[in-house]
Every structure is written in C-alpha cells, then in structure tokens.
Structure 1
Amino acid sequence: MSQTSPDVEQLLRLISRDQRLESLPRTGWQICGVDRPESIAAHIHGVTLIALWLADHQPPPGANVERVLRIALVHDLGEAMLTDLPRPVKELIGKDVVDQAEDRAADHILEALPSWRSAFQEYRQGQTLEARIVKVADRIQMLARALEYRHQKRGETSRFFDTSTSFDARGVHLAAEIFQALRRHFDDKTWFDPHFD
C-alpha cells in the first residue's frame, strides 16, 4: 500500500474539521427558543448562495465571483473549533478577545492553506467589495432565517430586527432594497409558503 501524500492528508483533515459544522447549531437561535436550529454548515451554505447572487448582480466592473465564494465558504470555518458564539457572549467577552480567538482558530484550521486564510482575513477586515458582499449576505441570511422561524412559530426572533447594524448595506448593489423587503416582511408578518406556492 502506498503512502498518502501530505496534500491528501491535509484535505482529509480539513474535511474532518469542516464536518463538525454540520452538527454544531447556531446558538443565537437557541437563545431565542428555536428548537433544533440550523447548523453552522447550513448557515454557511445559505450565505454562499446569497453572496453568489449578490456578486452576479453587481454593476460593472463587478465582483470577483471566485473570491466571493472563497470568502463565503471560509467566513465561519473557525467555528468548527469555537462553536457559534452568540452576540451576548461576544459582548460579555469583548471584541478583542473574540477576534483573537477567531484568528487562532482560523490559523489552526487553515494553517496549510494561506490563500484561504487570506480570504478569512479579508472577510474580517470587510474592506473589499467581495468581503462586503459576504458580510451583507451573512446579515440577509440571518434575517431571512429569523422570518422563517417566526413563520414556523419556532421562537421569538424579532430581536434580530431591532438593531440598525443588521441592515447595513455596506455599499453593495441591491442590498438596501433587500433589507427593505426583509423589514417589510417582518412588519407585515409574512413569509413564503413552504410548499412553493
């Protein structure tokens, strides 16, 4: 039997770390009383889908779609080690401590993937169009999920609509309009039928 190359072992280690995200819940929803909330992996999938849509709708010169997808896929990968820390916990611990822990987790998980680590850092800094798209997609996914849970009567999720930071369009094309539509659904107590009607 031949030896496995270091690159293959690296991939398998990454897969094992990523798979943890499927079983780790988004704890902010648990605090709101949502039983069996989405996993971190489901959240990342939703953010990636929304970020791709936003990237495809940017006016010329547009966004680097490959970079958007790379950032979206790694933006919460550190939570495989840290879990999803809800906002009240982050506020109690302090931003600097949370940032340091997230950096150390990203360093550990992405140690052999410098371009992926760079994408994580780009997201954290939030300066490029691609990073801003993913940050906006993260908020859109969260607000849409809050509406879904409210529609399903699965918890009290209105607190996610109580902060103006949830609605920061960050200069991303169509984001302000999307946030207005989400707010309208919240105010009207409407959401989409689960049967595709």
Structure 2
Amino acid sequence: MSDADRIVEFVYEVGQLKRLPRAGWLFAGVQSPETVAAHSFRVGVLAYAIAVQEGANPDRAATLGLFHDVPETRIGDIPYVGKLYLDVKVAPEAVAQDQVQHLPPQLATHIVQLIAEHEAAKDLDHTPEARCSRDADKLELLLQAREYQTNGIAKMDRFIHTMQASVITDTGKALMEAAQRIAPTEWWEAFGRR
C-alpha cells in the first residue's frame, strides 16, 4: 500500500466521528444528539479563539481541539456514567498509537503527539495550547447544553454547572459567563433586528 492509501484509510476511519453521537446527551433525553465530529469542530474554533486571547499559539490549540476525540472511532464516546464501570482505562494516546501505526511515520508521530498534548492538560504539566484546547472542550459542552436547553430539553443545568469548575483560563471563564448570559439564538435575532 502507498502512503496515500494509508492516509485515505485513516481519514475514512476519522469520518466515523461524523456518525458517532455524543452519548452523554442520550441520558439527558436528547433524541438526536450532536456527533463527535460536530463537537470537535467547535472545540477547534473555541480553542483558537481562547489561544489568541491568552497569548498561546492559536493554530496549535485549534489543531489539538480538532484531533482530541479521534480515538473515539475505536472506543466510542463513553459517557461519564459508563466510565465508572470500565475495569481497564485505555489512554487515548495508546488508542491513537494503534490507529496511526500504518501511516507515514512523521504523520503518525504528529497525530499521537496532538492527542497526548491535549490529554496532558488534565495534569499540571501541560502546554498553554493544551489548556486552551481543554477549556474549549469543556466550554463546547456548556454551549451545547445551553442550545439544547433553549430547544426545550430539560436537565441541562447539571451539564452546565459541572463544566464551570473545569474551565481555568481567564478567557475561558469570561466566555463561560457570557455563554450563560447570552441566549444561543442572539446572534441571528440581532441580525434580524438590523
């Protein structure tokens, strides 16, 4: 197989994220939840914005956000309640290592490093870009919960409140406050008023 063949196979695998629903929303009664790919896209955009405001590298932060859930093509999107029952915790970096084993070595190394860097934000030893990406991951969940709430889905308060303690950058905290104050529909309502 050529390098191009292997890259295309990998991209087909990543395409599974476009069909993989975010499982946690099912517990909250969301009938057709967002997909992991939709989540990752907005995480990338948020990570970019946070990084610009925080003085970190926005391109790196956005890339971390974009790639952070790639291992879920193999292990699925396991909601918090499900993680409590897993006997073996598989590190996303280990899953990524397996996913990219047939890619060109330089590309494989980059992808594994991206996922490992994002995951490192859970610990004290992390890059500013990883912190921006991790904050974006938490903020994206909060934003999505607000959107579901606006659409009449109850029980979103728990999702919103649990994310608040997870956000640590100054920009992330400011965005979190604004997201709770501003209605998700404000952007198009304001457009209509003009």
Q: Same fold (TM over 0.5)?
A: yes
Deviation at 1:196, TM superposition (A): 4.1
**1:125 is aligned to 2:115:** no
**Alignment partner of 1:20: what SS?**
helix
Q: Would the aligned equivalents of 2:71 and 2:95 in 1 still touch at CA under 8 Å?
A: yes
Give the TM-score, by structure 1 length: 0.83
Name 1:175's counterpart in structure 2.
172
Q: Could you tell me which runs of 5 or more consecutive residues in structure 2 were left unpaired when the two chains were aligned.
A: none
In 2 relative to 1, CA 158–173 (structure 1 residues): closer, same or farther, beyond 3 Å? closer
Give structure 1 stretches of 5+ with no counterpart.
Answer: none
TM-score, scaled relative to structure 2: 0.84
Work out which of the residue numbers 57, 67, 77 in structure 2 matches 1:64. 57
Hey, what's the Cα distance between the residues in 2 that align with 1:55 and 1:79?
A: 25
Of 146-155 and 22-31, deviating more is 146-155
Task: Check conservation: 2:92, 2:116, Cα contact below 8 A.
Answer: no
In the alignment, residue 103 of structure 1 is paired with which amino acid? E
Correspondence for 1:73: 66
The within-5 A match list for 1:40-189 is: 40-58=36-54, 62-93=55-86, 97-98=88-89, 100=90, 102-111=92-101, 112=103, 113-126=108-121, 127-163=126-162, 166-170=164-168, 172-184=169-181
Letter aligned with residue 156 of structure 1: K
Task: Spell out, residue by residue over 1:8-46, the C-alpha distance to the aligned partner (whole angstroms, 9 max, x if none).
Answer: 012101111111001100011111000111000000001
Name the SS for the 1:63 alignment partner.
coil
Q: Distance in 2 between matches of 1:15 and 1:101?
A: 21
Identity of aligned residues (%): 26
Q: CA deviation at 1:7?
A: 1.5
Q: Could you give the per-residue CA deviations for residues 25-78 of structure 1, whole angstroms, max 9, x where no partner exists?
A: 0011111000111000000001001111112222xxx22223212211210000
**One-letter identity of the residue aligned with 2:34:** E
Deviations 1:95-149 (A, max 9, x none): xx33x25333211223331111011111111111000000000011100000000
Cα pair 2:21 2:36 within 8 Å, conserved: yes
**Closer/same/farther in 2, CA of residues 106 and 29 from structure 1, 3 Å limit:** same
Query: What's the C-alpha RMSD, in Å, of the aligned pairs?
Result: 2.0
Equivalent of 1:8 in 4, 8, 30: 4
The residue that corresponds to 2:29 in the other structure is 33
How big is the shift at 1:195?
A: 4.0
Contact 2:48 2:59 in 1 (8 A): no
Q: Is the 1:139–1:167 Cα contact (8 Å) retained in structure 2? A: no
Cα deviation code 1:147-196 (max 9, x no counterpart): 00010013422211232x543333x24112122223445xxxx4424744
